[in-house]
Chain A
Amino acid sequence: DSGVTQTPKHLITATGQRVTLRCSPRSGDLSVYWYQQSLDQGLQFLIQYYNGEERAKGNILERFSAQQFPDLHSELNLSSLELGDSALYFCASGSGGDTGELFFGEGSRLTVL
Chain B
Amino acid sequence: KNQVEQSPQSLIILEGKNCTLQCNYTVSPFSNLRWYKQDTGRGPVSLTIMTFSENTKSNGRYTATLDADTKQSSLHITASQLSDSASYICVVRRQTGANNLFFGTGTRLTVIP
Binding site for B on A (CB under 8 A): 2, 4, 33, 41-43, 45, 48, 55-58, 88, 90, 92, 98-102, 104-107, 109
Contact = CB atoms under 8 A, between A and B. Distances in A.
Contacts, number: 54
Interface string B14-42: 00000000000000000110100000011
Interface of B: 31-32, 34, 41-46, 49, 89, 91, 93, 98-101, 103-106
Nearest to A58: B99
B87 to A, nearest CB: 9
Give the top 7 A-B pairs by smallest Cβ distance, nearest first.
A104-B43, A42-B105, A56-B99, A56-B98, A100-B93, A101-B46, A104-B44
Contacts of B99: 45, 48, 56-58
A98 B101 CA distance: 12
